[in-house]
Chains A and B, each alone.
Chain A
């Protein structure tokens, strides 16, 4: 299953809820303000870093760039994808859950 998260983890519990329910074969894609969940050194870094041992986590590059977040600021293990990668993830998974 593909999970998308579009809210800042500092404003909403959607990332935390998503990561607590996502199974090991899941892809989690951070988009829009959800990309703030990819930041290293933040209060939510350990939550995401721990999940990375279980699920795959991606962050959408155009949304990172829009917010001034460079790749070297991200938690190691998070894969950066473009819109084409978003489409590939959507096609590769049988279901999509949008954590709005």
Chain B
């Protein structure tokens, strides 16, 4: 069997105003079932997807933000958030929802899936990938 390919899903849109975010998340969750090496990057308004305490009840829209918490169970446990995009929006890591995964190699220790990276680190990560998909 050929080696698993390295996939990066880049999320660049805010969560509610368009369908990019929810459709992208669905593709990641479906793709994760095929046992590839999957990570996600959040750039630009995409960082707003991870904002804590999203509550769409008053708008009549479905709140899909809790679904990000399922990523860890699908072994999607590397979520790279661009530092410059957070800063431009007045956000810090504390504004983001805590997303974790359980490491079976370390007695199911709970670890954070969120990595704050700068643009240079993100460029390096993009170079490492076999396939990059944008949403």
Q: Do A and B make up one complex?
A: yes
Is there an interface contact between B90 and A68, defined as CB atoms closer than 8 Å? no
Q: Mark B100-124, 1 if CB is under 8 A from A, else 0.
A: 0000000000000000000000000
Known: A8-B45, A10-B45, A36-B48. A67 touches B15 (CB 8 A): yes
Is there an interface contact between B89 and A67, defined as CB atoms closer than 8 Å? no
Complex CA distance for A26 and B65, rounded to whole angstroms: 35
Q: In the assembled complex, which residues on chain A have CB atoms less than 8 Å from the CB atom of B44?
A: 10-11
Q: How many A residues touch B, CB cutoff 8 Å?
A: 24
Is there an interface contact between B17 and A42, defined as CB atoms closer than 8 Å? no
Q: In the assembled complex, which residues on chain B have CB atoms less than 8 Å from the CB atom of A63?
A: 16, 59
Complex CA distance for A92 and B56, rounded to whole angstroms: 28
Is there an interface contact between B17 and A41, defined as CB atoms closer than 8 Å? no
Q: Please give me the residue from chain A that is nearest to B97 by CB atom.
A: A68
| B88 CB to nearest chain A CB (Å) | 5
Q: Does B52 contact A (CB under 8 A)?
A: yes
Number of A-B contacts (CB under 8 A): 67
Q: Does A3 contact B (CB under 8 A)?
A: no
Complex CA distance for A99 and B17, rounded to whole angstroms: 15
Known: A10-B89, A42-B88, A66-B58. A32 touches B16 (CB 8 A): yes
Is there an interface contact between A67 and B58, defined as CB atoms closer than 8 Å? no
Q: Does A65 contact B (CB under 8 A)?
A: yes
Please report which residues of chain A, range 39-64, place their CB below 8 angstroms from some CB of chain B when the two chains form the complex: 39-43, 45, 61-63
Is there an interface contact between A36 and B15, defined as CB atoms closer than 8 Å? no
Q: Which of B15, B58, B65, B90 contacts A45 (CB 8 A)?
A: B90
Is there an interface contact between B16 and A43, defined as CB atoms closer than 8 Å? no
Q: Mark A8-35, 1 if CB is under 8 A from B, else 0.
A: 1011000000000000000000001100
Known: A8-B17, A68-B51, A68-B53. A36 touches B58 (CB 8 A): no
Which of B14, B15, B65 has the largest number of chain A CB atoms within 10 A?
B14
Q: In the assembled complex, which residues on chain A have CB atoms less than 8 Å from the CB atom of B45?
A: 8, 10-11, 33, 36
Q: In the assembled complex, which residues on chain B have CB atoms less than 8 Å from the CB atom of A33?
A: 14, 16-17, 45
* Pairs A-B, 4 closest by C-beta atoms: A41-B90, A33-B17, A62-B58, A68-B51
Binding site for B on A (CB under 8 A): 6-8, 10-11, 32-33, 36, 39-43, 45, 61-63, 65-70, 73
